[in-house]
Amino acid sequence: MKRHPTALALVLLSSGLLQAAAHAADAPSAPPKAEINAAVGTGATFTPPPESSIPDDEFGKMIKLGRDIMLDTPKYAKAYVGNTLSCVNCHTDAGRMAGSAPLWAAYVNYPAYRSKNKKVNTYEERIQGCFMYSQNGKAPPLGSETLVALESYSYWLAKGLPTDEKVAGRGYPDVAEPAQSPDYVRGQKVYDAKCAVCHGADGQGQYVGGETVFPPLWGDKSFNWGAGMGSYKNAAKFIYANMPYGMSYSLTPQEAWDVAYFMDAHERPQDPRWQGSVAATRAKFHDTKFSLYGIRVNGKLLGDTGAPKKR
Amino acid sequence: MRRINKSTRWVWAMAAIGSICAMPAGWAAAPPEAASCAACHGADGMGNAAAGYPRLAGLPKQYLADQLRYFADGTRQNAVMAGMAKPLTAAQIDALAAYYAGMKPKGGSAPAPSAAVAAAGERLARRGDWDKGIPACIRCHGPGAVGVGENFPPLVGQSAAYIEAQIKAWKDGSRRGDPLGMMHTVALRMSDTQTQDVAQWLAAQPLTLKPSTAAKH
């Protein structure tokens, strides 16, 4: 490129502007750059129908129940929930948001074979997994109102999508590999700076009038060791695209990996697929570097809490 | 009429003394500076809706103290409040914040807006508008927008005029100091109509949360 005096002046000017911007970044409230939502960058083109178009009939009632279960799971699916989380905590906007594991994308990809349980799963069976692990509860029976409602809602959201094809926006988008191995201490720094204001310094979330506002990230009231979020790779993807709330993609990939590792390096309810020992359970279900189950962190063997509690 | 014997009267008297002692510390000793606050924010701390002066009663102590500091150092720009806050010492800020945090909010809500405004405002408050990147108010300010912890103040009990002015102030940067810049980020994504709709709906909501049917823990 030909050098031009004006270009040089612009470069100098913009470096001045950069300095000004850097100074502004020192201000206590200078917001980090964030995308408007998780869908940005997923290439998603599908838009689920607006809620105002839910039919005003018996089927519509079931669709609405499914939506309500998503938004307040401990209230609308009480019998199957063993913690204080709701589906919406990991499926933004009641399962509508691309890049936040939208239900419409999942719906058109089932039945499917899952290595998690080594069989072809129906959509209902897939949702049973959410209740057993992410909700630390028990599987609603096939054909139960809870599963019928969630399936009806998902089917309705997926209106017009072809089945059994790759859908952009499914799951959580990939996050770049971290330059440095994910690290507890760095993760704690990210947590204290970016997460604790909502989830609490102790990770136990915040409640109002018995309702969860900010979900607990570890401990007895959080997801159990069998949940997808217990893979810190999966958690890093979720966090990068969706956290802090309303500030998608504002963390660096390294920050997302570090804080995901930090979250998943805490104790949580036992894996319900318990094999009698931590070692055996790890060997059968957690034999991946992305699970810290059965790994010693800060001198403590994670998952060493005995057999799962009966519910 | 039921006869009140001597011993019952004694019990009542003790109960009355007990209830005075049990009042929040701030009530027993209103800091002298609170007299200046009361002129605009009311003796009951519920503000003045017509003038757009906000409710202070029952807001989180940390939040109130932060705001006084922000007014003083310009993080939150407001000529009147800057003048009020600048002379305050740290101890005075602490005492005022504790006083108003301990006050029980009372009073009614604004009348409900038109059906169309109410529907749009409620939708935004409860569900947000994620296509525009706007999270629901209740996801951080709690069910019924009654406030959560020390950093997320109640929105109910504030007038539509105050809420609208604050969202605009977050948007233009004249109000800062929000954790992670969250409100600035959200406000930038809100249209004027959305701001007005949600402000009017919130102003019409009850002050306290109805007893919930959700699981207790």
Instruction: List pLDDT tens digits, range A175-227.
Output: 999 999 999 999 999 999 999 999 999 999 999 999 999 999 999 999 999 99
Helix (H) or strand (E) holding B94: helix B90-101
The model's confidence at residue B30, banded by pLDDT at 50, 70 and 90, is confident
B75 touches chain A (CB under 8 A): yes
Q: Is residue B194 pLDDT above 70, yes or no?
A: yes
A64 touches chain B (CB under 8 A): no
Q: Could you tell me which residue, A274 or B107, shows the higher pLDDT? A: A274
Nearest chain A residue to B181, by CA: A31
Residues of chain B with CATH 1.10.760.10: 27-101, 115-203
| Chain A residues closer than 8 Å to B178 by CB | 29
Q: Judge: B213–A209 Cβ closer than 8 Å, yes or no.
A: no
SS3 A49: coil
The mean pLDDT of B109-113, rounded to a whole number, is: 93
Largest CA distance in chain A: 76
The mean pLDDT of B131-156, rounded to a whole number, is: 97
Q: How many CB atoms are closer than 10 A to CB A108?
A: 20
What ipTM goes with this model?
A: 0.87
| Residue A98 near residue A169 (C-beta atoms within 8 A) | yes
Per-residue b or e along A211-222, where b marks 16 or more CB atoms closer than 10 Å to that residue's CB: bbbbbbbbebbb
B3 touches chain A (CB under 8 A): no
Q: Is residue B213 pLDDT above 60, yes or no?
A: no
A174 touches chain B (CB under 8 A): no
The model's confidence at residue B33, banded by pLDDT at 50, 70 and 90, is confident
When CB atoms are compared, the residue of B128, B149, B217 closest to A221 is B217
Q: What residue segments make up the domains of chain A, in order of their start?
A: 51-157, 184-301
Helix (H) or strand (E) holding A301: strand A300-301
When CB atoms are compared, the residue of B185, B213, B216 closest to A246 is B185
- Residue A44 identity (one-letter amino acid): A
Q: Is residue B23 pLDDT above 80, yes or no?
A: no
Q: Is residue B56 pLDDT above 50, yes or no?
A: yes
Q: What is the structure's pLDDT at B211?
A: 55
Q: Is residue A232 pLDDT above 90, yes or no?
A: yes
The mean pLDDT of B199-213, rounded to a whole number, is: 83
Q: Judge: B189–A93 Cβ closer than 8 Å, yes or no.
A: no
Q: Which fold has domain B27-101?
A: Cytochrome Bc1 Complex; Chain D, domain 2 (1.10.760)
| Chain B residues closer than 8 Å to A194 by CB | 180
Nearest chain A residue to B149, by CA: A206
> Which is the CATH superfamily of the domain at B115-203?
Cytochrome c-like domain (1.10.760.10)
Q: What is the structure's pLDDT at A32?
A: 64
Q: What is the structure's pLDDT at A4?
A: 46
CATH, domain range A51-157 = 1.10.760.10
Q: From the options 1.10.760.10, 3.30.360.10, 3.30.2010.10, 3.40.50.720, give the CATH code of A184-301.
A: 1.10.760.10
B178 touches chain A (CB under 8 A): yes
| Chain A residues closer than 8 Å to B146 by CB | 208-209
B206 touches chain A (CB under 8 A): no
| Residue A88 near residue B127 (C-beta atoms within 8 A) | no
Report the share of chain A in percent with pLDDT over 70: 89
Q: Are A51-157 and A184-301 equal in CATH topology?
A: yes
Q: Is residue A284 pLDDT above 50, yes or no?
A: yes
The mean pLDDT of B205-216, rounded to a whole number, is: 64
B213 touches chain A (CB under 8 A): yes
A208 touches chain B (CB under 8 A): yes
